[in-house]
Structure 1
Amino acid sequence: MKVKKLIGALTLALLLGACGKNATEEHGHEEGGEHAEAEEAKKGAHGGRLLEQGGYAVELAIAEDGTPPKYQAWLYEGGEPVPATAGTVEVRLKRLGGIAENHMLKPQADGSLMAASIVGEPHSFDVEVLAKIEGKTLHWEYPSYEGRTEIAAKTAADSGIRVAPAGPGVIADEHEVQGLLTPMEGRIANVMARFPGPIRNLRANVGDSVRAGQPLASVESNLSLTTYTVSAPISGVVLARNASVGSVASEGSPLFEIADLSSLWVDLHIFGSDAQHIRPGVPVKVTRMSDGATIETVLERVLPGTATASQSTVARATIANVDGLWRPGSAVKARITVERQPAAMVVPLSALQNFRDWDAVFIRVGDLYEVRPVELGKRDATHVEVLSGLKAGDAVVTEQSYLIKADIEKSGASHDH
């Protein structure tokens, strides 16, 4: 099975390699990285991107040393630096999905211009720079992408990439425990002979389903020397047969043990302080270990005593044994939901990836996919709360998100801060 999964993953990666078009850039925070095949942008004295026009120039970078990411610029005329007060610089960004933001740069004491506004991650956008130096109006446009790739819709579908809108949800406070299936009290019956005597006939075996009133054995009475029939007192399954033809049925010895297994108790073992948080009425999801099948029920009671062997508190629920495959004595896993808390925005755990030093997800706009660093809150077994980094309705990659990450990273364009 593991080999098949590995082959499947490699096949998907090859599909992306053949059909996916990477739209990611490394800009190293020297603002304005261009496509890999384009000529590398010219650098200025401070390591920023040098934008030149008609004898004037603006060197533009994203400053991060001791400050959150902000645009910083230096002005030049005829190749020589000019004071920051000699001009103005405005940077207009258009992010994926048409989101626009503006950054106005103001003169600083060190001779540069710097914006007060922060450039949020990812630093992936189309850039427009408007400047004035000594009254000369200047204008530049260029793409600066990172953490972005382009994958055709058919390729994405064939690769199993799926998206879903980010939105509100519920985070459950859950406790995972183990337990044991047991027959319910009052649903077990011992089938007894009314009078002692030799057993002439037995009509059921262990595992047989029987109905109430069904004949199970014939016994010849030692008192009357007549044969009488022993019938099932309840409907259920034969758990034990304690007699054989020709043996003598004695008073007080059961011939059969029958249990109604249509419903079973699940006795769950709760340890330590967890027992203080668990109350009757909370939801429980029980998992069958043999095949992973699950069933949902509600915790009915917390037993007053303590299990002697394990020193655990026993919490009890009832499940319907519709398929008959929930077997008494079997160990099960269960997840007890203590509390369900609403969250303004959640995504599936399958959407999460580690990208650079971020917790991140990937969003899709058209055929473009781009990383979104996210701040995470509470999580449960299936979902995690997103505190920031997404907006409601963002199309988040929920399946095969690692393929998006791999397609971005294979170009070496994930960019190191």
Structure 2
Amino acid sequence: MTLRSFLIPLLLTLSLAACGGSQPEVQGETAGHSESEADAEPAKGAHNGRLLTDGPYTVELAIFEDGVPPEYRAWLYKDGEPLPPTAGELTVVLTRLGDVTDTHAFTAKDEYLQGSLEVFEPHSFDVAVTARIDGQTLAWSFPSYEGRTSIPAAVAQDAGIVVAPVVPGVIRDEHDVQGLLTPMEGRHARIVARFPGPVKAVRVGLGDSVRAGQSLATIESNVSLSDYAVTAPLAGTVLARNVAVGDLAGEQPLFEIADLSALWVDLHLFGADAQHITPGLPVEVTRLSDGVSARTTLDRVLPGTATASQSTVARATIDNADGRWRPGAAVRARVTVAEQPVDLMVPLAALQRFRDWDVVFVRFGDDYEIRPLELGRRDGVNVEVLGGLKAGDPVVVAQSYLVKADIEKSGASHDH
């Protein structure tokens, strides 16, 4: 564990404590104004609903979800005695984080009033209740939060919490494979002496850059007893020098030169990958040494099979103008077999589990709240969102686990 990974959660905890922690759920009922006793437990009625009282009148309000989608149900009382559901009218307005409102009108059933809409998750909102009984208009308001917390902007920044809007994107069917960098045919030469004889001069060393036609060595021919120059047939880099002054040049290569401005990447395919991966597919090649990546396209799949590994070899070309890619080095690669556009997606790093849901956290101001998601296809980086978010929603995409930890610490829940 690094010092930073230890200090950031500690800083988040201490800063939130200094600021009063996450935003608590304010319990209890009010008539026409907001709660003043934040820690009061709300009174419950016979149906386990919240009791809202004003003078002789009481409304019991509950979220009912036994065998049905969550819905509001309400019961009316006067002087503690039940009233028929036809004795009054009721409206509930829910204001969610981001100033989204849901208005629930109520109709009379056999023994209760039933809300007109499903109460969608999360059940986290400010509740405004308006009732009309015996010609009198009654009003209450209270917060009912779950999966919500507050984190000051400075603390979030120090903790590395990053927020980005939900956008359309592409889900990719990607296959990870291993590969090896090799010089390209036609850009690689092994240079031998034209005539045998003693080596009188060597003018280049290992790693030197040479131009086409440049003199590499001087040899005295055993045939003519005159000197001749060994020259570079192409511009490139000296990969090997197997000769020194005084050696006797013969049939063995003296130098190996290659143009390394571009290299082949030979990717080894096993099993089903060999059937799915074809020429023309995009591929991202990553150096193992420093994680730097380059994008290219598969040129071909070689017809044979590597005897030792029993793999099929797919070949791509990468630009090496900076000389950082080295022949013989192992690389990893990700081949994109298919791409599917999606209307909305989020990074996998944004996902967390909350209760039985896959969720992300949206941010409005200093407030963060869960959004349960319906998910679709995914790849190694992103996942499609089928429901629970809309385009542009501000979602935590980095350090989301810190937000989850603070929400769980707060333990906020809602009424049922």
Q: Same fold by TM-score, threshold 0.5 exceeded? A: yes
Match of 1:30 in 2: none
Match of 1:98 in 2: 99
Match of 1:371 in 2: 370
Match of 2:121 in 1: 121
Aligned mates of 1:402, 1:415 — CA distance in 2: 22
Deviates more, 1:93-102 or 1:270-279: 270-279
Gap regions ≥5 residues in structure 1: 28-32
- What are the residue-to-residue correspondences of 1:49-198 with 2, within 5 Å? 49-109=50-110, 111-198=111-198
Match of 1:338, SS state, is strand
1:156 CA drift (Å): 2.8
Contact 1:50/1:60, CA 8 A, preserved across alignment: yes
Match of 1:362 in 2: 361
Alignment CA distance shift 1:112-1:416 (3 Å): closer
1:23 CA drift (Å): 1.9
Match of 1:236 in 2: 236
Contact 2:180/2:330, CA 8 A, preserved across alignment: yes
Contact 1:70/1:117, CA 8 A, preserved across alignment: yes
Match of 2:14, SS state, is helix
Aligned mates of 2:228, 2:415 — CA distance in 1: 88
**In the comparison of the two structures, how many residue pairs are matched?**
410
Aligned mates of 1:157, 1:397 — CA distance in 2: 12
Match of 1:72, SS state, is strand
State the superposition RMSD in angstroms: 2.4
Contact 2:240/2:256, CA 8 A, preserved across alignment: yes
Aligned mates of 1:194, 1:102 — CA distance in 2: 93
Contact 1:163/1:398, CA 8 A, preserved across alignment: yes
Contact 2:144/2:415, CA 8 A, preserved across alignment: no
- What are the residue-to-residue correspondences of 1:230-269 with 2, within 5 Å? 230-250=230-250, 252-269=251-268
State the TM-score, normalized to the length of structure 2: 0.91
Residues 148-171 of structure 1: CA deviation (Å, up to 9, x unaligned): 222333333333322222121222
Contact 1:34/1:144, CA 8 A, preserved across alignment: no
Aligned mates of 2:11, 2:154 — CA distance in 1: 15
1:265 CA drift (Å): 0.4
Match of 1:410 in 2: 409
Contact 2:304/2:312, CA 8 A, preserved across alignment: yes
Residues 295-335 of structure 1: CA deviation (Å, up to 9, x unaligned): 11111111122222222221110011122221111111111
Match of 1:117, SS state, is strand
User: Between the two proteins, what is the percent identity of the paired residues?
Assistant: 63
Alignment CA distance shift 1:328-1:345 (3 Å): same
Aligned mates of 1:35, 1:61 — CA distance in 2: 22
Aligned mates of 2:37, 2:316 — CA distance in 1: 61
Alignment CA distance shift 1:36-1:308 (3 Å): farther
Gap regions ≥5 residues in structure 2: 28-33
Match of 1:141, SS state, is strand
Aligned mates of 1:402, 1:416 — CA distance in 2: 26
Match of 2:31 in 1: none
State the TM-score, normalized to the length of structure 1: 0.91
Match of 1:38 in 2: 39
Aligned mates of 1:165, 1:292 — CA distance in 2: 27
Residues 275-294 of structure 1: CA deviation (Å, up to 9, x unaligned): 33222222111000011011
Aligned mates of 1:239, 1:352 — CA distance in 2: 48
1:139 CA drift (Å): 2.0
- What are the residue-to-residue correspondences of 1:281-292 with 2, within 5 Å? 281-292=280-291
Alignment CA distance shift 1:36-1:173 (3 Å): farther
Deviates more, 1:346-355 or 1:148-157: 148-157
Deviates more, 1:168-177 or 1:83-92: 83-92
| Matched residue type, 2:330 | A
Match of 2:410, SS state, is coil
Match of 1:23, SS state, is coil
Alignment CA distance shift 1:149-1:19 (3 Å): same
Match of 2:297, SS state, is strand
Contact 2:299/2:317, CA 8 A, preserved across alignment: yes
Contact 1:34/1:41, CA 8 A, preserved across alignment: no
Aligned mates of 2:306, 2:82 — CA distance in 1: 81
Match of 1:189, SS state, is strand
1:226 CA drift (Å): 1.9
Contact 2:25/2:143, CA 8 A, preserved across alignment: no
Alignment CA distance shift 1:281-1:305 (3 Å): same
